[in-house]
Amino acid sequence: MHYLKTAAVSGMLTISMAASLLAGCGKHINGTAPAVVINGEELNVGTANFILRYQQAETVQLMQMYGLTDGSTLWDTDISGDDEEAESTSESAASESASSESAASESASSESAADSSSASDSSAASSASEEEEKHFNTYGEQYKDSVLNNIERMVVMRQHMSDYGLSLTGEQQEKIDEVAADLYEANKDILGGLGTTEADINQVVELVSYEYIMHDAILEGADIEVTDEEAAQKTFTYARFATTITDEESGEDRDMTDEELAGVEKKANDLLDKVKAEDDVAGADISAMAKEIDDSVTTMQTSFGSDDTIFPDAVKDALAGLKDGELYDGTIKTDDGFIYVVRLDKEFDEEMTESKKKSLLSTKEQDYINEQVQSWLDAAEIEVKDGWNALEVTDSKPYVVKAEAAEEDAGTDASSESAVEAEAETTSESAVEAETDTETTSKSAAGADAESTSKSAAGADAAASSSSSAE
């Protein structure tokens, strides 16, 4: 039998579960009623509800950090009218849970605003492999479903621990009990409303521990690698001049007049000539030179690879024929409304390629784990009970991380802070890619991406999930 390292388990639990104070409002419910039965193993409402509310609170806090919600209007958002919007929101929820996978798991959430005191089971029984297409009216309904999926994942992972010869030592179990007791103390003021007991909290901590542990166990025999060829990154510098103008009154973009466009083309060519005139073209400060000509021009040094979908083909084609430090001899007008001046800095950037390899490896590893866990879920017999169905995720019944908890925890654990930063970078990067300019794919962003999607995604996310309260 394999025995897990106590230090690793203890450290993960301390980071992900310590002092996770929650605040919320809800009716007292019957926590002993079954919420879901997986392969004959019953998880009660008290356990499932805590996971749901903890993740709900943590997600609100994270979204508030990035200005994506004020916390008052989120869960009641209507997604029923537009299939594309619903699908998009669904993917977003799944991504959130995945980055929170441990989050939901470890993310043992707080109380629930559900009335269900009855345990009568008009149970929605379904095998994961026969699951019908789901439709949701609100984001809260959809989010709740993603948390249920996380719960099911944690349980089947624990059920397959023995496949890998894994078990906990007495010392590790003691640590789990200790962390669970602390977590119970930190949240006991609302646990009655959740129907959650200390024994339920203990089970939550166990599930989080097993999920974290299984991450490495599943990967142990996997043959996963990333080649230099698939990760190869080119680094280049560009100056980009806009060929559209935003109307001050309407706020809408319009194409430039021929005269305006001629003025922009002249500026781009002036910059090109200025850089070409430099003795050291490779070391020329394109950004400073561009700002001398037009302080509104966008400049950036960034990297991209074969999987790039951000930069126009015309730009990538121009760079393809250059050597390190060489300036493209001409301006590049693209269909997306810009004129570029570009210089290839490194045909093969070793540092950025290594960073990309780590990112790709992390993605492949997580895909491998997801595929294995999904196969267990597909084969599982899962019954969702009335106890779970009665729980609601709505704006009228909010759950948040207590401000005083965040203040108390801030700075108490350096590793906790790192974990928060890891998740924050990952989340912000996704948002930035969707909502901001291509400049966000700069060297530093790419490096942050590689780090934040490290191999211990499950563990780091788990840590980030509750240590977010520390931020």
Strands 166-167 and 2-3: parallel
Check if the beta carbon of residue 332 is closer than 8 Å to that of residue 340.
yes
Would you state the pLDDT for residue 86? 45
Would you state the pLDDT for residue 203? 95
Would you state the pLDDT for residue 401? 76
Calculate ∠ Cα 396-397-401, nearest 5°.
125
The whole-angstrom separation of Cα 158 and Cα 156 is 5
Tokens of 6: 């106590």
Would you state the pLDDT for residue 167? 85
Per-residue pLDDT for the chain (471 aa), expressed as one digit of tens each? 444 444 444 444 443 444 456 676 656 789 999 999 999 999 999 999 999 998 998 899 889 888 888 878 899 999 987 544 444 444 444 444 444 434 333 333 333 333 333 333 433 344 444 445 788 999 999 999 999 999 999 999 999 999 999 988 888 889 999 989 988 888 888 888 899 999 999 999 999 988 988 999 999 989 999 999 999 999 999 999 999 998 888 888 899 999 999 999 999 999 999 999 999 999 999 999 999 999 999 999 999 999 999 999 999 999 998 999 999 999 999 999 999 999 999 999 999 999 999 999 999 999 999 999 999 999 999 999 999 999 999 998 888 876 554 444 444 443 333 333 333 333 333 333 333 343 433 343 333 333 333 333 333 333 333 333 333
Which CATH fold would you assign to the domain 234-347? Chitinase A; domain 3 (3.10.50)
The whole-angstrom separation of Cα 365 and Cα 359 is 10
DSSP letter assigned to residue 338:
E
Place of tokens 């007791």: 181
Check if the beta carbon of residue 341 is closer than 8 Å to that of residue 277.
no
Q: Give the residue extent of every domain in the chain.
A: 2-224+360-444+453-470, 234-347
Burial pattern 377-400, b for ≥16 Cβ within 10 A else e, equals beebebbbbbbbbbbbbebebbbb
Would you state the pLDDT for residue 399? 86
